[in-house]
Structure 1
Amino acid sequence: MAPTVTKQWTIQGQNGFDSLHFNEKAEIPKLGENEVLVHFYAASLNYRDLIIPKGKYPFPAQDGVVPGSDGAGVVEAVGPRVTRFKVGDKVVTLFNQAHLGGPISRAALMSGVGGAVDGTLRQYGAYSEQGLVAMPQSLDYIQASTLSCAAVTAWNGLYGLESKALKAGDTVLTQGTGGVSIFALQFAKAAGARVIATTSSDSKAQTLKKLGADHVINYKTDQDWGSTAKRLSPHGLGVHHILEVGGPTSMKQSLAAIIPEGVISIIGFLGGMTKDQPSFLECLNNICTVRGVVVGSRLQFEAMNEAIDANEIKPVVDKQIFNLEQLKEAYQYMWDQKHFGKLAIKIDGGGQSKL
């Protein structure tokens, strides 16, 4: 019989990490006709998870929501009309439950897991069969739990504009060592592209090179790193794709690095806000496309998973893995920027699948 209670976290209010509350016996609602009950084995955190309880998230977030957009596990039960999955299938959550394909709609923006829809930081959760994807066969649960937000965002940033999709020989600029940037590096190298990465740490620079980065720039010691990246690109023409995670504080450097007709995909604003930022006219002056990216669709997720299996891409997971009960400590660890790559949460089943 399907379980009736679950351990889970919820967000009550906007008082920072003190808004996180743990319930060891939360009731699991009756499964709908088209719903799938997932037994989560692992989840992972994103910057977005940290700012929701701080009241700084710009998209819908319900009070009392179960946090976490990223989770991997096994189908525990299915509703009577479910056709896409069966009990025992390994699955991963889709970030925006209503974004199945094509351009994102307003309704899809309102369907974010861990914000508008109950998330993955629990043992069991029910989702529409349309809001799940099959887990890559080459990954274990902890690895697969890192894909829903950061990986799909990176994939969308590189391939979301079909007319300017990444191709072999292009140059990609990544910023830092967070999840999106690391995935972008891995996807770009698998596609035969050149990667220029930035970081603030010499030790992290060595790891980026081991992951395949062709050049690494320390943005702390080189404050004109955008021009440096352009100079390092083939013939000094500039880079074709930039995954812009810093936001307004680093946009000036991204514009200095971009090649004419290149694409800057704005992913986030880790660097904070500033009044001294480039104007829209700078996009014209640099003849480039600047686009905002909010994760990606199920079709993109599935295409990315095929590439992960085909190229044996392994997500980079921080050495520190927390248990579900240690969620507050995990939030603080990530807020203090102690992580490298993705920060995982082990829920049930040890997180490791038998491949």
Structure 2
Amino acid sequence: MKFVIMRENLLEPLQKITNICINKSNLPILNNILIKLKKNILFLISHNLEIEISTKIKLCKIIKEGEISVSAKKFLEICRNFSYNDIMEISLTNNRMTIKNNYISFVLSVLPSNLFPNFVNNKFLLKFNLLNFTLIKLIESTQFSMGIKDARYYINGMLIKSKKNIMHTVTTDGYRISLCNYKNLNKIPDFSIIIPRKSIIELIKLLKKKKNSIINIKININSISFKFKKTLFTTKLINGSFPSYNTIFNKKYNYFIEFNNNILKTAIKRVSIISNKNNIIYMNIKKNYAIIISKNEIEEIAKEKIKINYFGNNFKIAFNAKYIIDILNFFKCGFVNFLLNDDISSIKIENKDNPYNSYIVMPIKL
């Protein structure tokens, strides 16, 4: 194996794929990337048993085809530390990889390519295309409420569902639920899958680097792939049934409260400075105003009074400040609506200017 490449042509693709490599894994091969030279194309592949990212580079001179696995961290750091636009010669001799130019030389140990994991290429059941910004919107609208290491493994990810050309993303950690609907989609087949949390986090990084592009999506029984122009992202799916969510979002509410988004967000952030470790915030709702309160174990107290649009009965609710801030940070609107029935029932939060996103937060019992 031998090829010659300019540092800038190698560095950016290499940075895309190395995030998922597992440092200090019990399986040394998972710390590595696979380098493959085939048909005048350089392929770089990373894998962590859940996610596989591959990218291809044509801007290189291939002298001899072949493939080998090498430490992702070391290979990336070496490439970074060559000078701008350096020409790098990379070759494999006697089970050692040499990386050099006229002045610098590195020799690295390698592992055989046949040890490198790969997904079984099952026949894809569904294929369709989606605009990049559509997928970003669906993910960013709901990703913050995914479960984290929950025993109910099926909530440690994002439900992506398509039905009658309407696509949904739904996430929950048991204390809140986020829902995004995207309508007016054409020729999208019906499906329902759960993508793991780690995969969603890595996928959104790639999506943000590929603005205004079309993503080719393929789904089979246990994996999904997203193909960009030169990059292929593949992940395993979570096998399980996502909790039912339609009933709670279609519930009727008796009380309607309108807040100025920025005023509410700023007030909660200020007051929560002294909140306890559980981020508990109390809100006294009265006619046309609300008092937001926090306190802690050493009897420190913060209060702030804000104007609201409300004409119902007085009541008091408590909630996790972080859950509300996550939602308000996503909203880019002037006003948000809180819908609820009493101080112990769920709170539905909606963006007045965006009917496609809805959020449910469970209150804390007083």
TM-score in terms of structure 1 length? 0.26
**Higher helix proportion:** 1
**Higher strand proportion:** 2
TM-score in terms of structure 2 length? 0.26
